[in-house]
Chain A
Amino acid sequence: DIQMTQSPSSLSASVGDRVTITCRASQSISSYLNWYQQKPGKAPKLLIYAASSLQSGVPSRFSGGGSGTDFTLTISGLQPEDFATYYCQQSYSMPLTFGGGTKVEIK
Chain B
Amino acid sequence: QVQLQESGPGLVKPSETLSLTCTVSGGSMNSYFWSWIRQPAGKGLEWIGRIYSSGNTNYNPSLESRVTMSVDTPKNEFSLKLSSVTAADTAIYYCARDINIGNYYMDVWGKGTTVTVSS
Contact = CB atoms under 8 A, between A and B. Distances in A.
Interface of A: 1, 31-32, 34, 36, 42-46, 49-50, 55, 87, 89, 91, 94-101
B109 A98 contact: no
Contact of A44 (B49, B61, B109): B109
Contacts of A46: 105-107
Nearest to B108: A46
Main secondary structure of the interface of A (DSSP, over half): loop
B94 A44 contact: yes
B47 interface: yes
9 contacts: A49-B103, A50-B103, A50-B105, A55-B107, A89-B105, A96-B47, A98-B47, A101-B44, A101-B45
Contacts, number: 63
A10 to B, nearest CB: 13
Given A91-B105, A98-B45, A43 B110 contact: yes
A91 to B, nearest CB: 4
B31 interface: no
B62 interface: yes
B60 to A, nearest CB: 4
Contact of B105 (A49, A95, A100): A49
Interface string B82-119: 00000000000010000000111111011110000000
Interface in B20-47: 35, 37, 44-47
Contacts of B110: 43
B15 interface: no
A31 B47 contact: no
B54 interface: no
